[in-house]
Amino acid sequence: LYFSAQDGILLLYHIKDLQYEMKLCADISQPISSLIFSPDYTFLLLLTEQGPVYSYKPAHSGEAVKLLDTCSSCFLAADFLIPGEKYCVSVTTAGEVQVWFLEDGTCLSKLNLGTEVHVT
Q: Quick one: DSSP state of residue 95? A: S
Task: Provide the whole-model pTM.
Answer: 0.69
pLDDT for residue 43: 83
- The H or E element spanning position 55 is strand 53-56
3-class SS at 8? coil
Give the architecture (CATH level 2) of 2-112.
7 Propeller (2.130)
Q: In terms of C-beta distances under 8 Å and separation of at least 24 residues, what long-range contacts does 12-17 make, across chains too? A: 12/58
Question: What's the Cα-to-Cα distance from 16 to each of 1, 3, 23, rounded to whole Å?
Answer: 11, 16, 14
pLDDT for residue 107: 83
pLDDT for residue 11: 87
Mean pLDDT by 10 residues, the chain (120 residues): 82 88 86 85 81 81 74 72 81 85 82 83
Q: How many CA atoms lie within 13 A of 67 on its CB side?
A: 29
Segments making up each domain of the chain, as ranges: 2-112
